[in-house]
A and B are shown apart, each in its own frame.
With several copies, the nearest count.
Chain A
Amino acid sequence: MATVRVQAEDFDPVAEAGALTLGRTDVGAVVTFTGLCRDEGGLLDTLELEHYPGMAERELERIVAQAEERWSVQGIVVIHRYGAIKPGERIVMVAVSSLHRGEAFCAAEFLMDYLKTQAPFWKRQKLADGTSGGWVEGKEADDEAAEKWKRA
């Protein structure tokens, strides 16, 4: 059971993760990750998220399929927003349910690491002083985080 959504609207992490356990008594562990827009010490006004419609959904689905192949999980939810996002707002969430905690932790971290480097989204900053902060640059740390799953 996997849910993948790419949307402009905010989402409710509780309701989304709750769907993984609703009416079930066979789930042992749920790990959720929520990524939020930081205000960068007051410098940021808005984060503008561009995405590649169609490919964004497909790529997230591919990443979810990889996680499902690699770990024994019961359910996965991945939701990623695009468009204008204000400080304090949610950008992305992943939730994973499984029998035991190890699988849920690994799969959730894998999903985030892969999503960061593989899913076609790009962030641009609009600063509080009215200027553009430019496009956020890809971080080497993110590439390394994704690479570690190949060695593992």
Chain B
Amino acid sequence: MKAVYFAWVRERIGHGDEEIAPPDSVSDVAGLMTWLIARGEQYAHAFENPKVIRVAIDQTHVKHDAKIAGAREIAFFPPMTGG
């Protein structure tokens, strides 16, 4: 699946998107964030306060307990500040 990052999540990780292949044991969004954190310091920095991170699966907002099975695109970003 494709992971995409925006705003300071993108800046901290250092790139805007990447292909990821988490193991089957990673089943939900919260688990995926934990798995990403283990990938390196820049991820640990981006997800240091996981509860502020907003997530969208296939361009629809989801909560952290959402299942990731079947997702094509998972986006991680800070609270939105448009308008």
Contacts and interface: CB of A to CB of B under 8 A. Distances in A.
Size band of the interface chain A makes with B: 20 to 34
Contacts of A118: 61, 80
B61 to A, nearest CB: 7
B82 A120 contact: yes
B49 interface: no
Given A52-B6, A135-B8, A122 B59 contact: no
Size band of the interface chain B makes with A: 10 to 19
Interface of A: 35, 49-52, 54-55, 58-59, 80, 91-92, 101, 112, 115-124, 135-139, 142
Given A52-B75, A116-B81, 18 more contacts: A50-B6, A52-B4, A52-B59, A58-B59, A58-B60, A80-B82, A92-B82, A92-B83, A115-B83, A119-B82, A119-B83, A120-B56, A122-B6, A122-B77, A122-B80, A135-B81, A138-B78, A142-B83
9 contacts: A50-B7, A51-B82, A52-B6, A116-B80, A116-B81, A117-B79, A118-B80, A137-B79, A138-B81
